[in-house]
């Protein structure tokens, strides 16, 4: 079975199992509704997708301006969320050491579910983790965040442009970025890496909006999936609706 075949089969079979697995790990008491956050910038108890997005935008504004408040990073917050968590957003982003979501959004413990893979590429195992918050905890916001000068995208674009075979452990990443690459290539963009990054954000967000596990919450207005692009130079996150 090729790697792609295996991924497809796993994708079809593995999501429910993956959710069940993470559910047993993460089950626990959730802070009571209305519990104020212990420090810094407070979040409403059950934010709407819009309120959750506003919290991320405000946090990124503070980060860009160098005016971080580092909310929810003190021992009181650690104690508060030890009993249970109710993050207000899922951020699915890249492993890049320069793009840590809690820092670029100026948030703290218990605020975000974070999933990070090279070029925010996902397969069924990752899919289960992405779905966990919205499906089991009704997390209202799912952000797919790519970034400027992504190394994984650069490696994939170089391999696809030159027709060279990447190292075996990179092959899956290259294969899964090939659609974004093809979309970017069609645009005739000068900077193919940049265009592939942006296409990958759009395609991943679109795929997640169609995800059978997420669609019901999206249809009820309980969940919004948005694309985001992080600039390494300015620290700014720009949003794709
Ligand atoms: Zn990256």
CA of 120 to the centre of ligand 1 (A): 7
CA of 219 to the centre of ligand 1 (A): 31
Query: Cβ distance 234 to 64 under 8 Å?
Result: yes
Location of structure tokens 């974004």: 180
Q: Cα angle at 134 between 195 and 7, to 5 degrees? A: 55
Location of structure tokens 């990447």: 166
User: Which pLDDT band, with edges at 50, 70 and 90, does 217 fall under?
Assistant: very high
pLDDT at 18: 34
| Model confidence at 22: pLDDT above 60 | no
Least confident of 6-10, 47-51, 80-84: 6-10
| Model confidence at 226: pLDDT above 90 | yes
Q: For residue range 101-124, what is the model confidence (pLDDT) as tens digits?
A: 999 999 999 999 999 988 888 777
CA of 230 to the centre of ligand 1 (A): 10
| Model confidence at 166: pLDDT above 80 | no
CA of 146 to the centre of ligand 1 (A): 7
CA of 93 to the centre of ligand 1 (A): 8
CA of 151 to the centre of ligand 1 (A): 5
- Which CATH number describes the domain made up of 48-240? 3.40.1050.10
pLDDT at 118: 82
| Model confidence at 28: pLDDT above 70 | no
Q: Give me the residues paired with residue 112 across strands.
A: 89
CA of 237 to the centre of ligand 1 (A): 14
Instruction: Parse the chain into domains and list their residue ranges.
Output: 48-240
CA of 94 to the centre of ligand 1 (A): 5
CA of 82 to the centre of ligand 1 (A): 31
CA of 195 to the centre of ligand 1 (A): 13
pLDDT average, residue stretch 220-232:
95
| Model confidence at 20: pLDDT above 70 | no
User: Which pLDDT band, with edges at 50, 70 and 90, does 202 fall under?
Assistant: very high
**Backbone Cα Rg of the chain:** 18
């Amino acid at each position: 079975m090729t790697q792609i075949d295996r991924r497809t089969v796993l994708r079809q079979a593995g999501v429910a199992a993956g959710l069940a697995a993470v559910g047993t790990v993460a089950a626990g008491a959730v802070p009571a509704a209305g519990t104020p956050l212990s420090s810094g910038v407070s979040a409403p108890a059950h934010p709407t997708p819009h309120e959750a997005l506003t919290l991320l935008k405000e946090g990124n504004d503070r980060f860009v301006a160098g005016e971080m408040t580092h909310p929810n990073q003190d021992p009181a917050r650690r104690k508060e969320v030890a009993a249970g968590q109710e993050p207000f957003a899922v951020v699915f982003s890249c492993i890049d050491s320069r793009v840590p979501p809690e820092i670029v959004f100026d948030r703290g413990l218990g605020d975000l579910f974070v999933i990070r893979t090279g070029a925010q590429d996902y397969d069924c195992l990752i899919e289960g983790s992405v779905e966990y918050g919205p499906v089991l905890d009704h997390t209202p916001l799912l952000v797919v965040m790519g970034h400027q000068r992504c190394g994984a995208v650069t490696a994939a674009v170089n391999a696809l442009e030159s027709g060279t075979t990447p190292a075996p452990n990179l092959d899956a990443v290259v294969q899964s970025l090939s659609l974004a690459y093809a979309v970017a290539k069609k645009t005739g963009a000068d900077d193919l890496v940049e265009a592939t990054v942006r296409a990958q954000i759009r395609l991943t967000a679109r795929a997640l909006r169609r995800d059978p596990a997420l669609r019901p919450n999206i249809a009820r207005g309980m969940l919004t999936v948005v694309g985001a692009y992080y600039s390494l130079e300015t620290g700014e996150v720009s949003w794709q609706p």
